[in-house]
Structure formats: structure tokens, C-alpha cells
Amino acid sequence: MDTGRRNLIVVFISNLVASTGMAGFLPAFPIILPKLGMTDAADIGIWTGLLTAAAPFAAAISGPIWGAIGDRVGRKIMVLRALTGLAVFVGLMAFVRDPWILLFLRIGQGIFSGFIAPSLTLVSVHSPSDRQGFVAALLQAALLAGGVAGPPLGGWLLDGGEPSRLFFIASGSAAVSVLLVSIFAREESRPAMPARPTSPISALAHAWTDVRATMSEPVVLKLLIALFAIRFGVSCVDPLFAIYVKTFAHDSSFITNHLAFVNGALVAATPLGTLLALPAWGRAGDRRGYRRALALAAGGAGLFYAPQAFAPETISLFLIRFCAGAFMAGVVPAAYGMVAEETPVTRRGSSYSLTFSSIALANSIGPVIGGECIAAGVTVRPLLLASSVPMILAAIWVAKWKRTGQISK
């Protein structure tokens, strides 16, 4: 088996295992915080936003530097670094009873454990140039499969006990992923090492130079802005979704008694739609153009986010979220495909990490703003309506790139 296919299989499995553990607790902070002794609804909204935002914010800052370092010292070691950081920091969360310490650990998790970008880079550099969209879609499918399985599983465990079980399982899944990558992944096209040993300061300086060179590409910079807008709409509301689910509890004793499980199932509806639609979006981007796929995906997702505010019950809410996810499936493969077209392979790590950082930055700012809105008395329904606006505006902007000839494929 060639190295590209081998790495794709290994990284797919490791990302699936790690993301399942992560998705088990990420949507459940509004339910975990009361179990840690927090009772005020405004405080729960604010802290849910902070805890959700902490890791992606730290990852958005550190990710491009890690990616540029990986371009110089090797991509496999960056994957192992990230998964090990995930296992350590999430494992420590199992012993925490104070939200401030939990916040500190989430920041540490973000700094050291962003595994998505290095995983994609390791596979990408061993894959043909005309398969970059497919590769990105397949690895995204692994993350989404974890996003489908993790929330209901985590909700079921949380309904029956303490949050520590969720954190232990997530940490253990990351440790399993470390072993898989360490034993089975290969790296043939290792970056050339410097002729002389460099100091950490020099290495960081070179890494920052690579990051700035990547950001100077006009296409990449505009893409980062568009991605931020698309993800910002989603991240403002999704971490607070459990608060919305509670509004349906008066119609069902099952929801009242199994709130965490129902919330997990509804959260999983979006990644389920994304997972099933990913293969088609990956092929569409490779064959018809990544810009067109990105515009269509963002616009369609936006059109299906607003109607969630008017869902009369949980079944229709599940179906609407499923459809939103089916369109959201096209965003990430198209984005990574565009970046692969516009940047050289020697800067693939920094370019992919910047792409990930744009998404992570939106994932960090959005929950804080959403949490502050909840604390100020705004309900989740208006947030759902507002979430579609940046997605649709980004779709219109991306579509204009093609019409005006700003970007050439």
C-alpha cells in the first residue's frame, strides 16, 4: 500500500476515535456546569461561551506557528504532539470541580492539541494535487462521524453520572489515536532540516515568516475572512443549543428526564447531514471548482439555520438541522482545496493551519457573544435567526469573486 493511502486510512481512524471523545462533552457544558455547582442561568450562559471559546481561541493563535514548524521539522510529529496534548489536558479535566481551572485546562488544550490541521497536512502532502478536495472531505467525514456518535453517547453517560466519565473517555480516545498514528503512519517527504541547529527563537522567527508569506496571498486572505463569517454564525448559537432544547421539555417527560441525550441527538443532526453529503461535495469541488462549491454550501446552510427558530417540536428541528448540515458539508473541503491550489506544498502546513485558525477564531468569538446575549436576556431563537446572516453574506461575496474575475482557478 502506498504511503498516501496508508496515511489516509490511519489518520481517518485516529481522527474518528479522537473526535468521538471530544464531541461527547463539548455540547454539554450547559449541563455540566450545574453539576459543578453553578445555578444562575446568566452565569451558565456566560461560562458556556467562555469554556467553548477558550480552546479554539488558543488554537487559532498557536495553530499557524505549529503548522509552520511542522513544515520544517515534520508533519507526523505535529500530529502526535496535538493528540498527546489532547489526552493530557482533557484527562486532567476529569478531576476539576472549579470552572476557572476548567477554563485554564481548555486554554492549554487549545494551545497544544489542535490535531485537525496537522492531520490533514500529513495526508495532503502524500496525495495527488487533483485529490485535495476528496482528501479534505474524507478526513472531515471522520470528524463528523465522531460528531454524530459523540453527543448522544456523551449525553447518555452524563444523564447517568458525573462529567468525569466524559473527560476520561475523551482522554482515552485521544491516547488510542496517539498509538495508531505512532505505529502505522509514515512520512516519506520529510521537510529538509536546517544545516545547523537553530534556537527556539530562530525557529519561531522562521515559522512566523512562513505564516506572513502565506497570509500575503490575496486569495488566502479573502478566504480566511469568508470562513470566519460562515463559522461565526454557527458558533454563536450551537454551544448554547441545550438551552433551546429545554424549551421543548414541557411537551415531553422524556425530554425532561433525558435532556442531555436529547440535546446530544439534536446536536448530532447537523454533523450527520454533513457526513452523508460530504462525498458529493468533495467530488463537486475537485471537478467543478472550489469557489462555486463554497458559495453554494455557505448559502444553503444559511437558509436552513434560520428556520430552526420556528420548529414546532424536536422531530422537525432534527430534520432542519440535518439539512443545514448537508450544505455545511461543502465548506471545509472547498476551503482546503482552494488553499492547496494557491500555496506551495512547502508551506502546506502553515496554509492549512491558517485556514483552521480562521474557523477556530470564529468558534471562539461566537460562543462568547452568544453567551453574553443569553446573559442579557436574549433567547436562543433570535440567535438562530441572526446566525444565517453572515453565512448568506459570505456566500454572496464568494460568488462575486468568480463573476468579477478576482480569482482565477
Residue 314 contacts residue 266 (beta carbons within 8 Å): yes
In the chain, % of residues over pLDDT 90: 27
Task: Band the pLDDT of 390: cuts 50, 70, 90.
Answer: very high
Can you give the pTM of this predicted structure?
0.71
Task: Return the pLDDT at 139.
Answer: 85
Using DSSP's 3-state secondary structure scheme, residue 324 falls into helix
**Window from 81-90, 139-148, 281-290 with minimum mean pLDDT:** 281-290
Higher pLDDT pick, 102 / 352:
102
Per-residue exposure over 300-330, b if at least 16 CB sit within 10 Å of its own CB, e if not = bbbbbbbbbbebeebeebbebbbbbbbbbbb
Q: Is the pLDDT of residue 164 over 60?
A: yes
Residue 204 has what pLDDT? 62
Superfamily of domain 3-183+204-404: MFS general substrate transporter like domains (1.20.1250.20)
The ranges assigned to domains in the chain are 3-183+204-404
Quick check: 249 pLDDT over 90? no
Residue 409: the pLDDT is 39
- Is residue 124 pLDDT above 90, yes or no? no
pLDDT class for 199, splitting at 50, 70, 90?
low
The confidence score (pLDDT) of residue 189 equals 60
The larger pLDDT score, comparing residue 374 to residue 326, is at 326
CA dihedral 155, 156, 158, 160 (to 10 degrees): 160
**Does the pLDDT value for residue 111 go beyond 80?**
yes
pLDDT above 70: residue 253: yes
At residue 183 the predicted structure's pLDDT band, cuts being 50, 70 and 90, is very high
pLDDT band per the 50, 70, 90 thresholds, residue 299: very high
Write the single-letter amino acid at 389. Answer: V
Question: In this model, does residue 127 exceed pLDDT 90?
Answer: no
Of 405 and 298, the structure prediction assigns the larger pLDDT to 298
Least confident of 7-11, 58-62, 404-408: 404-408
CA distance 357 to 294: 18
**Separation between Cα atoms, residue 295 and residue 313, nearest integer Å:** 30
How confident is the model over 358-364, as a mean pLDDT? 86
- pLDDT tens readout for residues 305-347: 999 999 888 899 999 999 999 999 889 888 888 887 877 777 7
- Contact (Cβ atoms closer than 8 angstroms) between residue 314 and residue 254: no
- Is pLDDT at 46 greater than 70 in this prediction? yes
pLDDT tens for 53-97 read 898 889 888 888 888 788 778 889 999 999 999 999 999 999 988
Q: Is the pLDDT confidence value at 198 over 60?
A: no
Instruction: Give the model's confidence band at 403: pLDDT under 50 very low, under 70 low, under 90 confident, else very high.
Output: very low
**Distance of alpha carbon 382 from alpha carbon 362, whole angstroms:** 19
Cβ-based burial of 379 (10 A; exposed 0-12, middle 13-18, buried ≥19): middle
State the cell numbers at 192.
Answer: 529538509
- Average pLDDT value over all residues in the chain: 84
How many angstroms separate the Cα of 359 from the Cα of each of 59, 160, 257, 366? Answer: 10, 33, 35, 11
